[in-house]
Amino acid sequence: MKRVHIGDVAVRAGVSPTTVSHALSGRRPVSEATRERILQAVDELGYHPNLVAKSLRIQRTKSVGFLVVDISNPYYPTVVQAVHDGLADQGYVSLIGITYGEPAAEEMLLRDMVARNVDGIIIQPMSLTPAEIRRIVGPLPLVLISDHEGELYADRVQTNDCEGIAAAVRHLSDRGIREAGFISGPEGRSPGTLRLASFRAAAQALGVTVAEEWIDHVPFTRAGGLEAGRRLLALPNRPRAIICANDIIAVGLIDAAREAGLSLPDDLAVIGFDDIDTANLITPHLTTVVNPARDVGAACARALLRRIERGPDEAYTVDALPTHLVRRDSA
């Protein structure tokens, strides 16, 4: 019951391994008759080439590393699925790594992927800078899911969070709300930071007041949202509206609002970010900024494949995907 090698096929077809290889790859002509015999032998023996050996020889593995922050956040599975679908047709398989946003894990997983000779890497960096990542992976095709400003060290797929947030603030403003807070993600390189900055800018532009004590940083979890919500809602001069850096936090905030006996959207307006499936399942249905997860995943797959095909010399590309506000019942 041992695995069958190319040599076994060769013996059965009465030719050399070389000829079998040529017959299967078509890189050199093989007479119709022997090709026939070889294909039959392949069939009878159930031969499938050992891809590890093949990879070592041709220096490509038809695999890509995909480093995701936290797959328990429903936003990510959608991205993973889109990436998987985009790569699967081309015969690529994804090695997934979960970083939990920790620098040590991020670096370790990156090195491991490189050592495994993946053909490319997709990562949403949380702790490492693009420059650091590039240094670790060398010239490998690399796609960053990141809004990080500054020099380009890799192809980048980003979402135009700014316009979505602006639309959210405008929506509040249109409804006559002149004061708003913001619950962001962990401080540092998280997407929350940029969304917070966009929020500040939009609020200023529209003359919406934001007190410093209405701003909070918590992990991207429901518990984080609950905690921040309790804090903000207990304030003597609490804001009339709160925008959250993602939907999960918003869910926690709604928990806190319910605890406090507030009714949405009148006592408090809540706006989330991402538009995960759950968003229009909860009560009240969550008004949120649509983060096009499928498009992000598909764009990553496309960008990576293009980079793999075209080589490292072509200029890096940036693919900025639009976001927009979807109005439901929470604001």
- Which of the residues 102 through 141 are near a second copy (CB under 8 A)? 111-112, 114-117, 138-139
> Can you tell me the distance from the alpha carbon of 133 to that of 126, in angstroms, rounded to the nearest whole number?
11
Q: Which of 290, 304, 319 is nearest to 86 (CA)?
A: 304
Q: Does 24 bind DNA (CB under 7 A)?
A: yes
Q: Which of 200, 202, 185 is nearest to 247 (CA)?
A: 185
Torsion of CA 10, 11, 14, 15, to 10 degrees: 30
- Quote the least distance from Cβ 64 to DNA, whole Å: 19
Out of 12, 15, 192, 253, name the contact with DNA by CB under 7 A. 15
Place of tokens 């889109």: 82
Q: 257: helix, coil or strand?
A: helix
Q: 90: helix, coil or strand?
A: coil
Q: Does 98 bind a second copy (CB under 8 A)?
A: yes
Pairing mode of beta strands 155-159, 142-145? parallel
Task: Name the residue nearer to a second copy (CB basis): 96 or 197.
Answer: 96
Q: Does 5 bind DNA (CB under 7 A)?
A: yes
> Can you tell me the distance from the alpha carbon of 73 to that of 77, in angstroms, rounded to the nearest whole number?
8
Q: What residue 103 binds from DNA, a second copy, none (CB within 5 to 8 A, per partner kind)?
A: none
Binding mask 2-21 for a second copy (x = CB under 8 A): -x------------------
Out of 27, 207, 212, 313, name the contact with DNA by CB under 7 A. 27
Q: Name the one range near DNA by CB under 7 A: 47-55, 70-78, 158-166, 256-264.
A: 47-55
Residue 261: its H or E element? none
Cβ-Cβ contacts under 8 Å for 132 (sequence gap 6 or more): none
Q: Does 61 bind DNA (CB under 7 A)?
A: no
Chain Cα centroid distance, residue 102: 16
- Residues near a second copy (CB under 8 A) are 1, 3, 48-53, 55-56, 61, 63, 71-72, 74, 76-78, 80-81, 84-85, 88, 93-98, 111-112, 114-117, 138-139, 251, 277-278, 281-283
Q: Which residues bind DNA (CB under 7 A)?
A: 3, 5-7, 14-22, 24-25, 27-31, 33-34, 49-50, 53-54, 56-59
